[in-house]
Amino acid sequence: MTAPVVRPDAALEPLVASIAAGDRDAFQQLFRALAPKVRGYLLRLGADAGAADEVTQETMLTIWRKAASYDPALASVSTWVFTIARNRRIDRLRRARRPEFDPNDPALQPDPVEGADVAHEAAETGQLLRAAIQELPKEQLRLLELAFFHDKSHRAIADETKLPLGTVKSRIRLALVRLRDRLKDETR
């Protein structure tokens, strides 16, 4: 790492730690910082105002209950909250739990042991990604956003944008290659 990375998201980490200790003020602060973003995400995905409010509330309550399990080494706070909101939304739509792997499963193929030079703070990764995402060509950014913030699979995006499915896939892949390269450069 050459230059120190500014991490606005890092300001949220102590809040989550306080919430884990039962601090209601910290919860209110995190609510004010993130509930509007979560609600914006849900509305963008096509939820009506009532459903967006309900899932936002469930997301915030899940944060309260699970704050102790948040690990800053694994994900930035925004990412952790994104996965919670995504899962709550799916659970509500399908009335079934989103399938996820269990890190404690004895059947899990363990991660290869990483060298200290490869280990990288997840919150920094998040910040780098955010910068890299802003630098993506508009078209790639639009497709990534469509993939993440509309309830649309690649095929549905192809239908909507009138682009061939192959083009959608290759542009999204290109965007990801660029992000990955950017991360490699920064962490070298």
Partner 1 sequence: MIPLAHLSDDVLVDYAAGTLPQATALLVATHLALCPDCREEVRLLEEVGGAMLAERVPEAPADHLLADCLALLDRPVTVQEQPARYCADGVYPRPLLDVLPADGLTWHKRAKGLAEIRLDTGPGPVAKLLKISAGQPMPRHTHSGREFTLVLDGSFSDDYGVYRRGDVAVATEGEIHQPIAGAERDCICLAVVEGSLSLTGPIGRVLNLFVRF
- What's the closest the beta carbon of residue 159 comes to partner 1, in angstroms? 13
Residue whose CB is less far from partner 1, 122 or 163: 122
Q: What is the residue whose two structure tokens read 């699979």?
A: 153
Round to whole Å and give the CA distance between 27 and 33: 10
- What's the closest the beta carbon of residue 149 comes to partner 1, in angstroms? 7
Q: How many residues bind partner 1 (CB under 8 A)?
A: 80
Q: What is the residue whose two structure tokens read 């060298």?
A: 115
Residue whose CB is less far from partner 1, 3 or 150: 150
Round to whole Å and give the CA distance between 149 and 126: 18
Contact residue for partner 1 among 32, 162, 184, 188 (CB under 8 A): 32
Residue whose CB is less far from partner 1, 151 or 185: 151
- What's the closest the beta carbon of residue 128 comes to partner 1, in angstroms? 9
- What's the closest the beta carbon of residue 4 comes to partner 1, in angstroms? 19
- What's the closest the beta carbon of residue 33 comes to partner 1, in angstroms? 9
Per-residue string for binding with partner 1, 97-136, x by CB under 8 A?
A: xxxxxx-xxxxxxxxx---------x--xx--xx--xx--
Round to whole Å and give the CA distance between 54 and 67: 20
Residue whose CB is less far from partner 1, 4 or 99: 99
Residues 35-74 that bind partner 1 (CB under 8 A): 35-41, 43-44, 52-53, 56-57, 60-61, 64-65, 74
Contact residue for partner 1 among 87, 121, 142, 187 (CB under 8 A): 87
